[in-house]
Each structure stands twice: as C-alpha cells, then as structure tokens.
Amino acid sequence: MTVKKIRTALISVFYKDNLEPIIDLLKEQGVKIYSTGGTQAFIEQQGATVIPVEELTGYPSIFGGRVKTLHPKIFGGILYRRNHQEDVVQAADYEIPAIDLVIVDLYPFEETVASGAAEGEVIEKIDIGGISLIRAAAKNFQDVVIVASKEQYGELKERLENNSGGTTLKDRRYFAAQAFKVSSHYDTHIFNYFNRQEAIPSLKISEIKSTGLRYGENPHQQAAFFGDLGEMFEQLNGKELSYNNLVDVDAAVSLIAEFEGQTAFAILKHTNACGVALGNSVAEAYEKAFAADTISAFGGVLITNQPVDLSAAEAMKGLFFEVLIAPSFSNEALQLLSTKKNRILLKQKIHPSTTKQVKTLLNGFVSQDQDLQTEGKDQFVVATKQKPTTEEMDAMEFALKVCKHTKSNTIVLSNKDQLFSSGVGQTSRVDALKQAIEKAHAFGFDLKGAVMASDAFFPFPDCVEIAGNAGITAVVQPGGSIKDQDSIAYCDAHGMSMVMTGVRHFKH
C-alpha cells in the first residue's frame, strides 16, 4: 500500500503527556510544525522549531482563546484534496499550505462536569476549534492523519517508524475512525449535560472504555463490557470476569446496598438470592445465608458489606463459588481464599451512581428509572385487626428488601435476619409460594412465626390461606387488588397480620 510522507503537522493539545517521542520523531523527519500557545512552548522546549499559528493566519488568538485556529488557512490546509486539481490551484492562489498531520485533543468537558464545577466553567470547556479540527482532518483521511487522543500517541509513533515517517491509507482511515469515536463521545456528554435540565426525549449513551469478555451468556455468543470496571472494583484474585459473572455481580451489589449499617451477607445464583442474612459478624451472616440453600450456593456469587476477616474466610473456604465481593479483605483472609487460583475476589470501591436502566427491546431500546425505592416500617400501613409485633415488622422489612431484588412472580419467606426461602420467576404467585414453602421445609426451616413478602398484590385470598396453613403469621404486600378485602378478611379470621406498602416491585 502506498505510503504518504508527512511533511507538515499542526499540533495543539490540552494533554501533553507522552508527546515528547512524537516531537522527536517529527523533528528527525524534518517535519514543519505549526502550533499554538502552551503547546508551542512545550514543543520548543523539546528543541523543535515551531511556526506559530498566528503567523500563518495573520490573526492573534482572540476572545480569550475562544478563536485560535478557526481560519481558512488552517482548515483549507487540512481539507483541500491533493488529487483534485481545482483544490490544488485554489490552495496555491490563496497561499494555503498543506497540513498532513493533525494532533489535537479536546478540553476536559466530561471531567469538569464530574468535578461539580459551576456552569460557567463547564461551558468554557466545550471545545470548538479542537472538535472542528478533528472532524476536518478525519473527513479528509485520504490525505491527512488525525490523532485525537493521547491514547493514540504510541500507535502513531509505531506506524511512522515502520513507514519512514509516512502513513498508508489504511493507517489514516483507522485514525479517522478513532477520531470520530472521540468526537461523538464528546458531543454525547455535552448533550447529556444540557439535557439534565431540558429533558429532551433522546437516548444518548457513549462509553469508550471496554473490556472483552470470554463469551456472552453462552459460549457461542460474543460479549464485551463497556464502562470502567476498575473504578468500581479491584480484582485481587481469580480468572477474568465473564458475562454471567457480571450480571450476577450487578444483582449482588444492588441487593447488598439495601442493608447499609448492618452486617449482611448474600449468596446469589442467576441474579436471585438463594441466601441472605444479617449477623454479628461476617462469618455468622455467611453461615446463616448458606443455610438457606446449601445446594444452590455451589458456584454462586457471594457478597458482604463488611470486611472479610480470617474467621469469615475459614467459614466459606470449603464452598466452591465463582465470585466474592467485599469492601476489603484482611491479609490472612486474602491469603487463604486465594489458594484457589480461579476464585474471583473483588474489592468493591464504590457503589454505582446510575439512576437509569436501558435495555434493547424489539427494534429499539427501553429506558426506565431504576427501582431505588424501598419501603421501610414507617411506610407500612396495617390493613388487619391483628397488628404485627415489633419482631414481625422487622422481619417484613427484611423480607421486602430481598423480595424487591428477586425475579417476578416472587414470594419471600424469612424472619427478621435470615432468608428461609423464596419462590422465584413463577408464572403464578401461588406456584411461587408453594415453591418457597417446599424449599424452606427441604432445608429444615420451621415456618411457624415466619413472615411472607410478595412483590405484587394478591388477586385472591389463596396465597394468604396457604401461607397461614404453613405457619406464617404476618404478610407484607403492595395491595391494590380489587379483592384486597378478601385477603384481609382471611387474615382477620385466622389471627394473621397484614401490612400494605402501596408500591409494587416487579422485576423481569
């Protein structure tokens, strides 16, 4: 493929990290360099000769630096087509020099927004000249190389070295694609900043960082994670996270966040909790969570909201599990748990701050607010003559937290600090209840005095009747059925208490 020699370059960057090797290479190749302001001073410090952009355009930097490179002699030099005779003639007539390489980045808009800066400062970080230069150079990739990010300096240097200071059309097209990735990402974040207030109905998502995954939900499906996993977790041991691991980790992180200020432990399988418990220590909470389903815990994802010490590590070391998430691990616990080389240990650094959920659906996308509402005892409305005891109120609050994070239709049975069982993902609420009761009995739990939580209302009194016959004494549900009174009447007739929250928690 034909190599096109670089003879002129325009360099104007905010970030100057690792730019030195590029300058040295251009200097060796005798490339004429145009630049501006701070970048010009930086390049001159490297011993290279620089022609100020003002000398080319005949205009100084004006309006507080808002206008520096927006000039026909700059954009003409980038955009004119070298194989188009009329363009070549016009460039000569107007003394417009060809610019073969453009290295430019953008003001840190995203970072400025994230810092909480005032709007005036944010607006000044909307790049005009830079974004225009990127688009112009990328459009004319037939003749021009565009490097729009410091992340690409190494690639540029390697390709220039391999081609004696030149590039191929394939190189230039690649860098153009990278440039449009940068510019589209930048514009997305600007729009989303303005749309916080304007609420224009439009879905704009852009994530540049990505992590390739071994495969998707199944081995024949390709997959990748887009986002910064390193911001959330430090992986201390184990193999690469898989697609299914990440889905379960997401569910686990959301569930454990419900128990802030308590020592909690949860075990999940296919995003549903098979064990959740509170304890005086992580070890105690783990043992209670594991007891809820000693079979499903095999190969599960484990999470706690407290540091894992040696006692906790010893309690769980015999279980085969895929992932353990905790805010920290003692050195002794880490050493013990790391004896299994594939066991994934994640130190959770932050909790996700996202408030929206997006998924593909049919030929488009659906977006909704995340379900961040959890009803506590203060929101419970007693619907029956029998009022719940203090312990039953605590138990229903616990059960409802678990229920909210379980696939519908779901029923959760528990006491105030331990999940006994749940019926998950059933097409009938009665089936979910029967599944939960059978499972609780299978693992040795006596349901006398237990509570029941439902993610949605009871359309008939059959569920409270089945629950009462199993020994359950208190029920929490959203209410809202036209036949609520039938369920309430059954409870009243059999000494059961029922509270309503007024909020449904379907999860599909």
Q: What is the 3-state secondary structure (H, E, C) of 449-487?
A: CCEEEECCCCCCCHHHHHHHHCCCCEEEECCCCCCHHHH
Q: Which pLDDT band, with edges at 50, 70 and 90, does 64 fall under?
A: confident
And the tokens for 142? 């037939």
What pLDDT sits at residue 70?
85
Centre a 10 Å sphere on the Cβ of residue 448 and count the other Cβ atoms it contains.
9
Q: What share of the chain in percent tops pLDDT 90?
A: 92
- On the CB side of 445, CA atoms within 13 Å amount to 28
What pLDDT, on the 0 to 100 scale, is given for residue 69?
A: 81
Closest residue by Cα to residue 420 from 390, 393, 453 = 453
- Whether residue 385 is predicted with pLDDT greater than 80 in this model: the reply is yes
Residue 180 has a pLDDT of 97
Q: Which residues pair with 498 in a beta bridge?
A: 475
What pairs with residue 12 in β-bridges? 104
Mean pLDDT of 50-64: 86
**Per-residue pLDDT for 57 more than 90?**
no
Q: Tokens standing for 30?
A: 């005798």
Other CB atoms within 10 Å distance of the CB of residue 86: 9
What is the rounded distance in angstroms from the CA atom of residue 63 to the CA atom of residue 275? 63
Q: What's residue 392's pLDDT?
A: 98
Provide the edge-to-edge strand list for the sheet that holds 50-52: 50-52, 32-35, 8-12, 101-104, 145-147
For residue 192, pLDDT over 90 is answered with yes
Whole-angstrom distance, CA of residue 435 vs CA of residue 214: 34
Q: Are 304 and 330 in contact (CB under 8 A)?
A: no
pLDDT in tens, 163-191: 989 999 999 999 999 999 999 999 999 99
Lowest mean pLDDT among 198-212, 274-288, 491-505: 198-212
Q: How confident is the model at residue 68 (pLDDT cuts 50, 70, 90)?
A: confident
In angstroms, the CA 56 to CA 63 distance is: 19
* pLDDT reported for residue 300: 96
Kindly state the tokens that stand for 34.
Answer: 């145009």
Residue 334 pLDDT greater than 80, yes or no = yes
Catalytic center residues: 139, 270
The per-residue pLDDT for 371 is 94
pLDDT of residue 241: 92
Q: Are 428 and 377 a contacting pair, CB within 8 Å?
A: no
**Residue bearing the bigger pLDDT, 220 or 1:** 220
pLDDT of amino acid 461: 95
Q: What is the pLDDT of residues 94-109, one digit of tens each?
A: 999 999 999 999 999 9
Q: Which of 50-59, 297-306, 488-497 has the lowest mean pLDDT?
A: 50-59
Q: Please list, in sequence order, all residues whose beta carbon lies within 8 angstroms of the beta carbon of residue 485, skipping any fewer than 6 positions away.
A: none
Within 10 angstroms of residue 203's Cβ, the number of other Cβ atoms is: 11
Q: Which of 59-63, 247-251, 302-306 has the lowest mean pLDDT?
A: 59-63
CB 109 within 8 A of CB 122: yes
No. of helices (H) and no. of strands (E), the chain: 19, 23
Question: 10 Å Cβ neighbour count for 96?
Answer: 21
Provide the pLDDT confidence category of residue 362 given band limits of 50, 70 and 90: very high
Residue-by-residue DSSP string for 236-255: EESSPPPHHHHHHHHHHHHH
Tell me what the mean pLDDT of segment 331-345 comes to: 96
Q: For 67-90, what is the mean pLDDT?
A: 92
The residue to which tokens 């079979």 are assigned: 295
Length of the chain: 508
- Using a CB cutoff of 8 Å and minimum separation of 24, what contacts does 411-414 make? 411/435, 411/436, 411/452, 411/453, 411/454, 411/463, 412/436, 412/452, 412/453, 412/454, 413/437, 413/440, 413/445, 413/447, 413/450, 413/451, 413/452, 413/472, 414/276, 414/450, 414/451, 414/453
What does the pLDDT read at residue 330?
A: 97
Is residue 62 predicted with pLDDT exceeding 90?
no
pLDDT score of 93? 94
Q: What is the mean pLDDT of the chain?
A: 95
pLDDT of 63 reads 84
The SS3 assignment for 428 reads: coil
Confidence of residue 411 (pLDDT cuts 50, 70, 90): very high
pLDDT in tens, 430-464: 999 999 999 999 999 999 999 999 999 999 999 99
Is residue 65 scored above 80 in pLDDT? no
Looking at residue 232, its pLDDT comes to 94
Distance from C-alpha of 321 to C-alpha of 356, rounded to nearest angstrom = 30
Predicted pLDDT of residue 1: 73
Q: 275: which strand partners?
A: 267
Mean pLDDT within 77-105: 94
**Predicted pLDDT at 156:** 94
